[in-house]
Amino acid sequence: MTKARVTVIDIAKAAGVSKSTVSLVLQGSSLVNEGTRSKVNAVMRELGYVYNRGAANLRQAGAKSRIVGVVVNDLTNSFFAELAVGVDMVVQSAGFVQFLSNTGESIDRQREVVASMREHGISGLIVSPARATDAADFKPLVAAGIPVVVVVRNLPGAKVSSIVSDNRAGMMSAVRHLAGLGHKRIAFLGGFPDTAVFDDRLAGYRSGVEAAGLDYHEELVISSAPSRAGGVEAIGKAIALARRPTAAVCFNDAVAFGVCDGLRARRLEPGVDFAVVGFDDVIEAQAAVPALTTVSVDPQGIGRRGAQMLLKQINAGKAEAETVTTAVRLVVRESCGAGRAAPARTGKSVKSKQDAE
């Protein structure tokens, strides 16, 4: 086992050519003679050469490290794991590798990992920002010409590309569906008001309510942590209302599950005594009892699109900030009570590819 690294010079020597030629071979240049090429390749294989991207990258002055950074706020949430997988797919097949880090919603950690990634010379960054991330945090990156794509949560004020799902339309269709089932008082439960996503979903709720010819009541909007526990809390307050709602759209699926828990604790059966609709369509949604009616947003698709967008910008060399919102669709299952109240409308619950494997 030779301890020393095999370099391009070693190859050159062994193959009886110059290092420049070897370099040409490495880059698949058409300038080099077929015979030479194969000889060099043979020698490389024989000596167990491994390319040193660091060195190459140094010479090529930035731009093409073939590394993209991926930063997510909660990898244990399967939503984001899926997203990372989507990114990895396209990034990998484009010959890049992904640097993935998890911030766990900590802005400090986010700052650290982004800095670290920068030191390593990433050629682009995909990030689902931690809560309360300052848009200015990514300023230096774009100033340095490193494309940034923000996903899932947008960052108002930052001049970067972003992909978010159509929160507004999603919420609207959820409300429309419930109204169509005859519900008059529909609550909006869960979520922290200090996020852009919350604003969008709330706006969608409001539009939906008004479009259905109902009145928008402030008291029916009850925020809470976007978690199962938060859902329990929110439904508690909703039930305590003088004029209690008969249905609710929830900030996300976690909240929706909590709402179901809370209902059962009060001897109310979700989907029967009270209609519940979630948002995200996490994997558990279809297996839960009752199966959750929810707005489906394909995280892996977002990952793929984000990666494509990023690669495009990397290749273009110029970062044209563009914003796309991906379509979502309501998946009607049981928790909204559609099954019994209005059998018609049931829209084909989607076949889930996730379980296919």
Partner DNA sequence: TGACAGAATTGGAACGTTCCAAATACTTAT
Partner DNA sequence: ATAAGTATTTGGAACGTTCCAATTCTGTCA
101 binds, among a second copy, DNA, none (CB under 5 to 8 A by kind): a second copy
Q: Which does 230 bind (CB under 5 to 8 A by kind): a second copy, DNA, none?
A: a second copy
Pairing mode of beta strands 148-151, 67-72:
unpaired
Task: Determine the Cα–Cα distance for residues 335 and 277; give it in Å rounded to an integer.
Answer: 7
Name the minimum Å distance from CB 35 to DNA. 7
Q: Which stretches does DSSP call E strand in 54-211?
A: 67-72, 97-102, 124-127, 148-151, 161-165, 186-189
Two tokens at 139? 């300023």
Name which of 40 and 91 has its Cβ closer to a second copy. 91
Q: Give the one entry of a second copy, DNA, none that residue 234 binds, where binding means its C-beta sits below a cut-off of 5 to 8 angstroms depending on kind.
A: none
Nearest distance in Å: CB 218, a second copy:
26
Nearer to DNA among residue 17 and residue 288 (C-beta): 17
Tell me which DSSP letter residue 17 carries: S
The answer to whether 40 and 26 are in contact (CB under 8 A) is no
- Helix (H/G/I), strand (E/B), else coil: 184: coil
Closest approach of a second copy to the CB of residue 298, in Å? 13
The region of 114-122, 129-137, 174-182, 310-318 touching a second copy under the rule CB under 8 A is 114-122
Interatomic CA distance for residues 224 and 103, integer angstroms: 22
Chosen from DNA, a second copy, none, partner binding at 19 (C-beta under 5 to 8 Å by type): DNA
Query: Which of DNA, a second copy, none lies near 31, with the C-beta cut-off 5 to 8 A by kind?
Result: DNA
Question: Residue 161: phi, psi to the nearest 5?
Answer: -75, 155
Q: Which two tokens stand for residue 157?
A: 């004020």
DSSP string computed for 224-293: B-SSHHHHHHHHHHHHHSSS--SEEEESSHHHHHHHHHHHHHTT--BTTTBEEEEEE--THHHHSSSPPE
Find which of a second copy, DNA, none residue 182 binds, CB within 5 to 8 Å per kind: none
Contact positions with a second copy (CB under 8 A) in 32-71: 48, 50-55, 57-58, 61-62, 65, 67
Q: Report the length, in residues, of the chain.
A: 357
When CB distances are held under 5 to 8 angstroms depending on the partner's kind, the choice from a second copy, DNA, none that residue 32 binds is DNA
Sheet holding 186-189, edge to edge: 221-222, 186-189, 247-250, 275-280, 293-296, 329-331
List contacts with DNA (CB under 7 A). Answer: 4-5, 7-9, 17-21, 23-24, 26-27, 30-36, 51-52, 55-56, 58-61
* Residue 47 beta carbon to DNA: minimum distance, rounded to whole angstroms: 11
Residue 293 backbone dihedrals phi, psi, to 5 degrees: -75, 130
Peptide bond into 290 cis (omega under 30): yes
Integer Rg of the chain from CA: 26
Binding mask 247-286 for a second copy (x = CB under 8 A): ----------xx-xx---------------------xx--
Which CB atom, from 42 or from 50, has the smaller least distance to a second copy?
50
67 binds, among a second copy, DNA, none (CB under 5 to 8 A by kind): a second copy
Residues that bind a second copy (CB under 8 A): 1, 3, 5, 48, 50-55, 57-58, 61-62, 65, 67, 75-76, 78, 81-82, 84-85, 88, 92, 97-102, 104, 109, 112-113, 115-121, 140, 143-145, 225, 227-230, 257-258, 260-261, 283-284, 287-289, 354-357
